[in-house]
Amino acid sequence: MDISMRTFALSVAVLLLSVCAHSQPRIFVVGGTTFSIGSIPRGKVVDHELTLQNPGNDTLVISRVDVSCGCTGSMLSRDHIPPGGSGTLQITFNSKNFHGPIHKTVTVNSNAPADPAVQIAFEGDVVQEVVYTPEFLWFQDVAVGSRATKTIAIKNEGKTDFRLTGYSTGVAGVNINLPVGDIHPGDSVAVPVEFVPPKSGPMIADRIVIRTSHPSQPEITIGFYGNIRTESKK
């Protein structure tokens, strides 16, 4: 091979290497990597959809999406996005275990060399207008046929009246004396929960659901735990 041919072959090789070196995917989040879900009532599930674009010149492959806690979910419309293409990322936040300001993150992992792990953050404020304590009741060592009582405190921290309209539970022997009438803003009520176990059984792990007339918090869910003795203590 003469010098001119070797020079040509070398030039082609350099050109191919240059093209390969610059052939790479990119990731771009339309609208930015931060957003707010605003003020939401506790218990609401919020969905937010983002558009992911690939302005690069190779296929963008999204390997996984990591979330900062179990309260947040994610769903991709596609995990392979061609050059110039786009896909959607739906982020879902469940507020049932939160009260007050929240800050959560979602991380998109891909083969984009410049941004292999893009972090998306969102903020919000979870408002709880129907506040209750405790969040679970523990009835320890209750004898069959005996009566045990616990109290739930429910407060109206909103701006409108509401009332307690009913309850349900899978635990036999539970009776709840719900107050009659409206609970006004700033007021609180004490709700007694009586438990008279009709028979012995294994450990109890259930819940009580108290229904309300509040439009944004129609239910209060309280854990119910305990154990039952066959006979009274001597």
C-alpha distances (whole Å) from 115 to each of 24, 73, 209 are 11, 22, 46
Give residue-wise pLDDT tens across range 147-158.
999 999 999 998
Tell me the HSE value of 137 on the side-chain side, using a 13 A CA sphere: 26
Q: What is the average per-residue pLDDT within 112-139?
A: 95
pLDDT by residue (tens digit) across 186-211?
999 999 999 999 988 888 999 999 99
Report yes or no: 107 and 117 within 8 Å, Cβ to Cβ. Answer: yes
Which range has the worst mean pLDDT, 8-17, 98-107, 213-222? 8-17
Same domain, 139 and 213: yes
Are the beta carbons of 157 and 183 closer than 8 angstroms? no
**Owning domain of residue 58:** 25-127
This prediction has a pTM of 0.68
The tally of domains found in the chain comes to 2
Whether residue 205 lies inside any domain: the answer is yes
16 domain residue, yes or no = no
We report the CATH number of the domain holding residue 156 as: 2.60.40.10
Tokens 């410049």 sit on residue: 114
Rounded mean pLDDT of 22-29?
91
Rounded Cα–Cα distance for residues 53 and 63 (Å): 15
The reply to whether 118 and 160 lie within a common domain is no
Residues 168 and 89 both lie in one domain? no
Is it the case that residue 67 has pLDDT exceeding 80? yes
